[in-house]
Chains A and B, each alone.
Chain A
Amino acid sequence: MQSKFKGGLLPYILLLPTLIILVVFLYYPALNTFRLSLFRKPIRVGAPLRFVGLNNFISLFESASYRNSVTITLEIAFAVVVIGMGLSLAIAVMAVQPVRGAAIYRTLLIWPYALSPAIAGAIFLAILNPQSGLINYVFDTLFGFRPDWLGDPKLAPWAIIAASVWKNLGFNVLFYMAGLQNIPGDVQEAAAIDGANAWERFWLVRFPLLSPITFFLLITNLTYSFFEIFGMVDILTGGGPVQATNIMIFKLYVDAFENHKTGPAAAQSIVLFLLVIGLTLIQFRTTGRRVHYGA
């Protein structure tokens, strides 16, 4: 039974703290970003903003370095989402098997998620150090050479991808495990009786039943790979070498807070925002339609 509040005001008062936080930290800055993207901020602190119309956007798309940044962002995001989700599904399938000490494995798998991106980045920085890192110790012992993971423009994006996938693995595995545990045993048994082998049982029965989880993870991983891997880039490569990992969120940070180009940075923020919204809408229109809810 649904209970009702007396009077119209109380619910709004109860909602007020949340609304205040949303307005102050989300809506106001977002609206301000839209406004700033049409202005240039003079170097002199406190001087009035100068209206430039859409010039910030026009010069963005004329800039080769910005177009490069968009391409790199899409490439890295694609790899992080596909590799991250594929890997975690595989791990989750293995981790839900009834094995000895399963609880311990499962806990350990989720751990990386508890770290902040900065800490995870620092760990990878140490591991990937070309001279003293663990990975190159192994590489040197096995193959006799030491790749420059963070200094080579071909390898650096992969270092970012690997670190970002690892960092988010726990989150993905957690949801996939929960999803897998919710699949009723009888459907699988029925499939087995019908003669489906393990491979078919997975792809024809379990995977479709996981589709709500997969869809949810697709959206969260997308936002993760566009926004949250900032910390990795900041710590590991600083956008380099030669802009090879200069993803959009990092570039806009540098332009806003290091180069003092507030207007162009706001414009970049809008472009990024629209890009992610667009991708998410496409997901809802396409993949979203194929999602199966309920067994």
Chain B
Amino acid sequence: MTKRLLVLGVLVAVLALPIANSVAQEGENIQITFWHAFGGGRMLFIERMVEDFNYTHPGIEVQVEYKGSYRETLNAAILAAEQGNAPHVVQIFEVGTQLALDTGIFIPAEDIVGENVDLLMLDDIIAPVRNYYTVNGKLNSFPWNSSNPILYYNRDMFEAAGLDPDNPPMTFEDVEEVCQTFRETGVAEACITWPLHSWFFEQWMAEQGALLADNDNGRAGRATEVYLDGDAARRIFEWWTGLYADGYYVYSGSLEDWDGANAIFISQQVPMLITSTSDVNFMQNAANENGFAIGTSYIPVPADVERNGVIIGGASLWLTADHPQEELDAALEFVLWMGNTENAVRWHKGTGYFPVRNSAVWVLEQQNWFETHPLYRAAFDQLLETQVNSATAGAILGPFLEIRTMIEEAIQSVMVEGVSVDEALANLDEMADEAVAEYNAGVEE
């Protein structure tokens, strides 16, 4: 009998639990979920910012969740939306823009503010960032973390090899020469690393003023064809895989392995690293801990091609549409707060992502920030000197994630399978065209 009572008691308790929970929630704060793609130090930074927001905004409670890589975060958001359970705010990387638009689950930034377009302070957003996220004449998302790739180099190793640490290599050819010096002087056998990531390929295409796809990189109309087998692509492939064949370029062996490339540079196996400016803060700490000095500079480009500049990388914040109005309002308040001048300054200092607002740049200049922190300068100058054209605006492609993998595998196939550059590029171009055609067929016009 007691046993039966016990079972009954447990059952009642279990059944009553959700009811108790829902009662407790009534009359409480508006709950907003925010998914992002940053682990490690940046995750802690974001959590701190969200805590600040919650503290200063009574009535709203933002719940923050780390969902893995950029790819995983976007895919998780789409799957969640399919199940009618989308997070309110999602951090989506730049190349996910077209896919995000096509899923139809997000509400464009300019639509949600409606007539209160002043809230966005559009003119305050630095031009290249605003251009990147403006598609179909509308700003679609809220710019947040923007970056471009820069060259990090180990000043101590440059000095040890008898090289001038104030003059890092600026061209593809310079890199080869410097690598030779490092090897001859016995300072380093391999000399440069960066993640085997399509992002760098895309940047070098832009630097050469080359388009990735038709219709002005997919910005004048939906892209229907990629341009991946031209001279610009060939130059990048030949240089990259040539450095690998000579043993000058090394990487961890995995695709898109940012941490792996950082580890090779931090452990001083190579004197040079190309990676995102968003690691300035991290890299400076790591160099200090390992007892060497670093410098930063522009990424090298082919000597005989005019330097066009870089594409905005990084991510922006998107709002999903399918929520009650009061939740949308709260979510809007949150993303506006995340991107305000104060937070843009703070985010820049804490990571190395560049400030996305002119007002934030002004604040930093008033503080003499760039003079006292020269490492943060390279990415910003590189961006300011970027020519405004379709190449540096960056491509938007529906199946960009899939094509990125194809580009990475094409480079890898030349490096480890001995496929010729011409063959790899021809295959790549064909496969990517197919992916675009298949994707476009799946879009309801």
Contacts and interface: CB of A to CB of B under 8 A. Distances in A.
Contacts of B438: 261
Contact of A259 (B79, B251, B401, B444): B401
B354 to A, nearest CB: 29
A42 B444 contact: yes
B416 A47 contact: no
Contact of B103 (A44, A131, A243): A44
A216 to B, nearest CB: 37
Nearest to B81: A45
Interface string A110-131: 0000000000000000000111
Given A151-B416, A242-B412, A45 B78 contact: yes
Given A42-B442, A151-B253, A259 B416 contact: no
Contacts, number: 80
A40 B443 CA distance: 11
Nearest to B250: A131
A131 B264 contact: yes
A150 interface: yes
B402 A153 contact: no
B104 A45 contact: yes
Contacts of A44: 102-104, 443-444
B255 A240 contact: yes
Given A150-B253, A258-B71, A43 B398 contact: yes
Contacts of B71: 258
B54 interface: no
Contacts of B269: 131
Interface string B408-433: 01001100110000000000000000
Given A150-B254, A242-B416, A45 B442 contact: no
Which secondary structure dominates where chain B touches chain A? helix
A238 interface: yes
A257 B77 CA distance: 11
B75 A258 contact: yes
A131 B254 CA distance: 13
B342 interface: no
Given A151-B254, A241-B416, A40 B104 contact: no
A201 interface: no
B166 interface: no
Interface in A263-290: none
A106 interface: no
Interface string B247-282: 000011111000000011001010000000000000
B197 to A, nearest CB: 13
A22 to B, nearest CB: 22
B99 interface: yes
A130 B78 CA distance: 36
B323 to A, nearest CB: 14
A146 to B, nearest CB: 11
A75 interface: no
Contacts of A152: 253, 416
Interface string B74-111: 01001101100000000000000001001111000000
A259 B82 CA distance: 15
B253 A130 contact: yes
Contacts of A153: 416-417
B255 to A, nearest CB: 6
A188 B233 CA distance: 70
B415 to A, nearest CB: 9
A43 B440 CA distance: 9
A41 B442 CA distance: 7
B208 to A, nearest CB: 26
Nearest to B86: A45
Interface in A9-43: 40-43
B249 to A, nearest CB: 13
A238 B408 CA distance: 13
B66 interface: no
B442 A40 contact: yes
Contacts of B99: 43, 260
B104 A46 contact: yes
A43 B79 contact: no
B326 to A, nearest CB: 23
Contacts of A228: none
Contacts of B362: none
Contacts of A151: 251-254, 416
A259 B439 CA distance: 10
B165 interface: no
Nearest to A149: B253
Interface of B: 71, 75, 78-79, 81-82, 99, 102-105, 251-255, 263-264, 267, 269, 398-399, 401-402, 409, 412-413, 416-417, 438-439, 441-444
10 contacts: A43-B444, A44-B104, A45-B82, A153-B417, A240-B412, A241-B409, A241-B412, A241-B416, A243-B409, A258-B401
Given A43-B103, A130-B253, 9 more contacts: A45-B81, A45-B82, A46-B82, A131-B264, A131-B267, A148-B253, A151-B416, A258-B402, A259-B401
Closest 5 CB pairs of A and B: A151-B253, A43-B102, A242-B413, A44-B104, A45-B103
